[in-house]
Structure 1
Amino acid sequence: MRWDGQKVEAASDGVLPGMDLRTLPGLVRSVRTPEFAGVTFHEVLCRSALNRVPDASSVPFRWTVNPMRGCLHACAYCFARPTHEYLDLGAGRDFESQIVVKTNVVEVLRAELGRRSWRREHVALGTNTDPYQRAEGRYRLMPGILEALAASGTPLSVLTKGTLLRRDLPLLSDVATSGGSVAVSISLATVDDELQRVLEPGTPTPRARLELVRAVREAGLTCGVLVAPVLPWLTDSEEHLDALLAALADAGATGVSVMALHLRGAVKPLMEDWLRTHRPGLLARYRRLYGRGAYTPEEYRRWLDARVAPLLARHGFADPREHRAWRAAATSPSGGPAVGETADEAVAAGAGRARASTSAPPPPAIASPTLF
């Protein structure tokens, strides 16, 4: 029968050929279901739920919880893809189809939060793979996670692309109104439906995520938006960014952070494959732009900051006085990309401009790429 694979004794059903089950500690079973065609769920019993963020990290939190590994969103640019390689799985198709689910994460988390040593530090959800990806509808892990964090008095934040978050808005609202610390952020890189379908094929549409922002606000919660990644020559035009920020303002977003695309490890060749298929004319440009590492050159980041700052101010997402100061610095001969300068021109002129800008004050942090 088609449900035979659901039995616990069918632990190896759906496992990749040649995959050593010992690479998944705590594996209980591997499951395939008709609702998720082409996907295998590897259900494991985890030993810990709280993950300590390395002290060297610049993110504003020290603890995370990731109920799953791998993500059905299948975003071509996802920085978390290389984490699947730690399991002897691939960063490409495997990341999108071999999903590791920590089925006991709620019980383990409750035990960890109940320890006398727990100091109720901020815990971030959605920092690696999305906790509200479609698989959450099957496993329903997030309500228990949120309840455990709230019951222990632990501040929490959620970052997601998933509209399944709507299901838990009453719970999050109750936590906030009871005095708990809750921060909700939505990730949205584009309002171009065609681009979204090929770039993030497993994600909700831009319109659905804008409606999610509106729903979060109607639930009485603040809602920040991470405009990320900004993709050079695809989503960094003034027209595109202006349309996106206008839509976010209309939906009621309470804050916006912007981050340029970075390509670490296996993500770089995967993104090149995507470009070769969908935007072949940009492949050589990307190779030049990311030729020296995972991040765009400083000249590009300064150019993007200068483009974004006045748009953020226009749509009410920052203090206009700070943006006037940043814009003045950016348009001065020593401060950054000139008005009307293209990304290509900014990068090409970067070396000379960098030398000229050594005496100029640094741009305000308001326009710098940040992470929720």
Structure 2
Amino acid sequence: MRWNGQQLGTEEPSALPGLAKLNNLVRSVQTPDFAGVTFHEVLAKSALNKVPRQSEMPFGWTINPYRGCSHACVYCLDPDTPILMADGRQKPLRLVEVGDEVMGTKTRGSYRRYVRTPVLAAWNTVKRGFRITLADGTEITASGDHRFLTERGWKYVQRATDGSQRPTLTLKESLLGFGQSVNEINDPASIIEEVVRTNNGLRILSIEDLGSEIDMVDITTGTGDFIANGVISHNCFARPTHTYLDFNAGDDFDNQVVVKINVADVLAKEVAKPSWGRYPVALGTNTDPYQRAEGRYALMPGIIESLAHSGTPLSILTKGTLLRRDLPLLAEVAQTVPVDLAMSIAIYDDELQKSIEPGTPSAKARLATVTAVRNAGLDCSVFLMPILPYLTDTKAHLDEALRRVKEAGGTSVLFSSLYLKPGVKPWFMHWLQRQHPELVPKYTELYARGQYAPKEYRTWLAARISPLIRAHGLERGREDPATGGIRSKALGMLRNDAGERVAFASDDGSTGARILPSTEQATLF
């Protein structure tokens, strides 16, 4: 794999606090295919993760080739924002295309200077809008996660949604750039290598929350920035496992992805040891192994081959349609070791899915992957997880979801209600406040006593969905009282000969609803 010329410099080390703990870091890279995401490539010392006995997670061994997830979207500007092109013209952001040249900035020696830079990628999303008004009359609309250059460095429009600290714009400080004088640039060559200077007209007078979601666009450039309506604008890049690296559990989970580039080689050595008991291994228990980055790094084929060669059963849970790439390999190894596949498809309303899972494949695309798995001769369960109270728990939504799963060829459905673990709850509640403020009081009451929905709700949910699962022929077994999910009728909750719990959990934090595929080494408890 080649990501030539994409290695990060050290201009903003403070923006990446977690890197201090990555003493095995090889490099940090950005690539046009993943605008807004930074990949930190590391050399892993181990691949297999043994789950502590005291853990609530109902599985014994995992492999997580990635920390964080590149399924997420980017943070952007209003599509009509004028962008300064390399020829001195201004063009609306929505019309800027890959291959265009724009004006950016680059630090040379002690000074930041204006330079030409190519547009490497362009992206669309929907975000809550904020209007920034400057002293010279300049107005610019951006998301709260967008950054602009000030005299004191890059600063975000708004504070982080999860409460973590980050530099934020304040009234009376000044942005850097040309401001309204950008309209007077007649000779673009005259500003190349010109030093970026303070402009008194770019003092911030107000930052106004527009109170609504709007269509936005972002571009990735060779310098990592561009001139938006006369001010210098950043390409915005920067959940609970990320806090170990001092990353936050909200945006950083999406934007700072740690990649264990040698994971397959390390795994091959671990499972070749005589001491390895060929215990079932779960992939997808924390972060998605078939997230978009897997298309670049292609770590999964080596992982699958190493497990199969050692006779180790494996389970894969994913939201990623990239699973289809490896179906021939999975079908082949399934002839010698148990292989259990599952797709996570929680939401079947397209608008809601785009809002809460903006970077993931659509339900239609994931259902097509279920069909592809079945056509490859393998079973495929579907995780209806999490079911969102008051949003996706209506009988009509559940019935339609199950109908589509059955139509796609799904062999069973497993469900659980929303689980709001620490670090995720503030992020989710912020989303709820923006998208469904009328539900905030209900969710506050529902989750007042802990991370799980109360037993009364889980019992009600099971009574509603269980008959529908039976009616569609997708039943696997009895209800799991801990989560409101179901246990496998064939296997139940298992322990292997070593006494380890070997069931599966969903990648969204739900637990106790998936069974790993080793009956030979397990006994019911």
TM-score, length-scaled by structure 1: 0.82
How far, CA to CA, are the matches of 1:16 and 1:184 in structure 2?
40
Counterpart secondary structure, 2:20:
helix
Larger Rg computed on CA atoms:
2
Equivalence for 2:40 = 42
Question: Size of the alignment, in residue pairs?
Answer: 322
Q: Give the superposition deviation at 1:22.
A: 2.5
CA distance in 1, matches of 2:9, 2:290: 25
Contact 2:415 2:486 in 1 (8 A): no
Other-structure match for 2:379: 222
Please give the residue correspondences for 1:1-372 in structure 2 after superposition, counting only pairs within 5 Å: 3-6=4-7, 12=10, 17=15, 19=17, 21-57=19-55, 59-74=57-72, 81-176=239-334, 178-318=335-475, 370-372=512-514
Q: What is the rounded CA distance, in whole Å, between the counterparts of 1:365 and 1:89 in structure 2?
A: 34
CA distance in structure 1 between the aligned counterparts of 2:26 and 2:463, rounded to whole angstroms: 51
Give the Cα separation in 2 of the matches to 1:180 and 1:291.
44
1:195 Cα deviation after fit: 0.5
Q: How many Å apart are 1:366 and its aligned residue?
A: 7.1
Structure 1's 127 and 13: CA in aligned 2 closer, same or farther, altered over 3 A?
farther
Normalising to structure 2: TM-score of the pair?
0.59
Q: What is the CA deviation profile of residues 63-99 of structure 1, one whole-angstrom value per residue up to 9, with x for unaligned ones?
A: 1000000012249xxxxx1111110001111110000
Q: What is the DSSP-based 3-state SS (H/G/I as helix, E as strand, rest coil) of the residue aligned with 2:342? A: strand
Higher strand share: 2
State the Cα distance separating 1:239 from its structure 2 match. 0.4
Counterpart secondary structure, 1:229:
strand
Cα 1:243–1:20, aligned 2, differ >3 Å: closer, same or farther? closer
Deviation at 1:15, TM superposition (A): 5.3
Structure 1 residues 20 and 223: alpha-carbon distance in aligned structure 2, compared to 1, 3 A threshold = closer
8 Å contact kept, 1:14–1:32: no
Report the Cα distance in structure 2 between the residues aligned to 1:90 and 1:58, rounded to whole angstroms.
Answer: 22
Runs of 4 or more consecutive aligned structure 1 residues displaced over 6 Å after TM superposition: 366-369
Q: SS of the counterpart of 1:85? A: helix
3-state SS of 2:17 partner: coil
Percent sequence identity over matched residues?
54
CA distance in 2, matches of 1:251, 1:15: 47
- Cα RMSD of the aligned pairs, angstroms, is 2.3
RCO (CA 8 Å, sep 6+): is it higher in 1 or 2?
2
**Retained in 2: the 8 A contact 1:189–1:230?**
yes
The answer to whether the 8 Å contact 2:486/2:513 transfers is no
The answer to whether the 8 Å contact 2:311/2:336 transfers is: no
Measure, in 2, the Cα distance between the counterparts of 1:70 and 1:18: 14
- 8 Å Cα contact 1:23/1:87 also seen in 2: yes
Structure having the higher helix fraction is: 1
In the alignment, the residues of structure 1 paired with residue 488 and residue 18 of structure 2 have an alpha-carbon distance, to the nearest angstrom, of: 48
> What is the DSSP-based 3-state SS (H/G/I as helix, E as strand, rest coil) of the residue aligned with 1:4?
coil
In the alignment, the residues of structure 1 paired with residue 24 and residue 458 of structure 2 have an alpha-carbon distance, to the nearest angstrom, of 43
In the alignment, the residues of structure 1 paired with residue 277 and residue 257 of structure 2 have an alpha-carbon distance, to the nearest angstrom, of: 31
Q: Deviations over 1:163-203 (max 9, x none)?
A: 00000000000011x22110000000111111100010111
| Displacement of 1:26 | 0.6
Alignment deviations for residues 86-138 of structure 1 (CA, whole Å, 9 cap, x no partner): 10001111110000000010110001011110010000000000000000001
Alpha-carbon separation, structure 2, partners of 1:19 and 1:57: 28
Alpha-carbon spacing, 1:287–1:113, altered in 2? closer, same or farther (3 Å): same
Q: Secondary structure at the match of 1:285?
A: helix
Change beyond 3 A, Cα 1:183–1:240: same
Any conservation in 2 of the 1:106–1:145 contact (CA below 8 Å)? yes
State the Cα deviation string for residues 250-307 of structure 1 (Å, max 9, x = none): 1111111101001011111111100011111111110010011101000000000000
Give how far 1:17 is off. Answer: 2.0
State the secondary structure of the residue aligned to 1:302: helix
Code of the aligned partner of 1:121: Y
Tell me if structure 1 keeps the 8 A contact 2:308–2:336: no
Q: 1:365 Cα deviation (Å)? A: 5.8
Q: Which amino acid is the alignment partner of residue 128 of structure 1?
A: N
Q: Is the 8 A contact 1:12 1:29 kept in 2?
A: no
Equivalent position amino acid for 1:172 in 2 = L
Q: Is the 8 A contact 1:262 1:294 kept in 2?
A: yes
Structure 1 residue runs of 5 or longer lacking an equivalent are: 76-80, 327-362
In structure 1, C-alpha distance between the alignment counterparts of 2:308 and 2:269, rounded to whole Å: 14
Alpha carbons of 1:13 and 1:165: their partners in 2 closer, same or farther (altered >3 Å)? Answer: farther
Q: Give the aligned partner of residue 338 of structure 1.
A: none
1:3 deviation in Å?
A: 4.5
Quick check: 1:15–1:40 contact (8 Å CA) kept in 2?
no
Quick one: structure 1 residues 111 and 129, their matched pair in 2 at CA, closer, same or farther if it must change by over 3 Å? same
